[in-house]
């Protein structure tokens, strides 16, 4: 049985959203390559082969752009809250890890709201130290996260429950 002070009150792993699955990526690449081939083939037959080559370069550039996008999606942020500790870990796409620890009694969640666009920024603030997190989430997702996290933080401030 875990000690009440070590009970996890909140835990979330935040990842950048990518709407295109691996299968979708393959379909887009096949469609784009087919379109380039059909469009470039008449130019190749007329002797304007450089145009056909540039269309091949377009395919390669699109592939590289998608691969870089998928690589950046490997980044994530972990937020863990217990009654005695709040831990925020940011892991970059390359694997570099930064970690911050806060005392729940002294940390506050700071939101930057825009009247038209919703929640723009979430930060953890403790004694002059400010760490922004969830930067890659959309305003609605940040709103949901802020509400859930604020409730868990209020519970953590009440302290561990020894029943």
Question: Domain coordinates of the chain in residue numbers?
Answer: 4-15+75-157, 22-72
Total-model pTM: 0.75
The confidence band for 32, taking pLDDT boundaries of 50, 70 and 90, is: very high
CA dist 92 and 58 (Å) reads 29
CA dist 60 and 41 (Å) reads 17
Q: What percent of the chain has pLDDT over 90?
A: 69
The arrangement of secondary structure in 4-15+75-157, i.e. its CATH architecture, is: Roll (2.30)
Q: How far, CA to CA in Å, does 144 sit from each of 47, 54, 115, 134?
A: 58, 45, 17, 11
pLDDT tens for residues 78-110?
A: 999 999 999 999 999 888 999 999 999 999 999
| Contact call for residues 102 and 126 (beta carbons, < 8 A) | yes
Residue reference for tokens 């190749």: 44
CA dist 88 and 100 (Å) reads 5
- For the ranges 1-5, 25-29, 120-124, 140-144, the lowest mean pLDDT is seen at 1-5
The confidence band for 1, taking pLDDT boundaries of 50, 70 and 90, is: low
How would you list the strands of the sheet with 108-114, edge to edge? Answer: 108-114, 118-126, 129-133
How would you list the strands of the sheet with 10-14, edge to edge? Answer: 10-14, 76-81, 86-91, 97-102
């Amino acid at each position: 049985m875990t000690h009440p002070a070590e009970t996890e009150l909140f835990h979330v792993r935040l990842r950048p959203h990518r709407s295109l699955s691996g299968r979708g990526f393959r379909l887009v690449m096949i469609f784009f390559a087919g379109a380039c081939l059909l469009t470039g083939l008449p130019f190749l037959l007329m002797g304007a082969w450089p145009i056909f080559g540039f269309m091949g370069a377009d395919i390669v550039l699109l592939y590289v752009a998608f691969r870089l996008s998928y690589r950046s999606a490997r980044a994530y942020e972990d937020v863990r809250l217990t009654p005695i500790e709040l831990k925020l870990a940011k892991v970059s796409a390359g694997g570099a890890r930064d970690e911050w620890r806060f005392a729940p009694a002294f940390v506050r969640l700071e939101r930057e709201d825009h009247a038209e666009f919703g929640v723009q920024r979430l930060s953890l603030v403790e004694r002059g130290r400010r760490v922004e997190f969830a930067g890659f989430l959309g305003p609605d997702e940040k709103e949901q996260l802020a509400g859930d996290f604020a409730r868990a933080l209020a519970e953590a401030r009440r302290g561990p429950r020894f029943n």
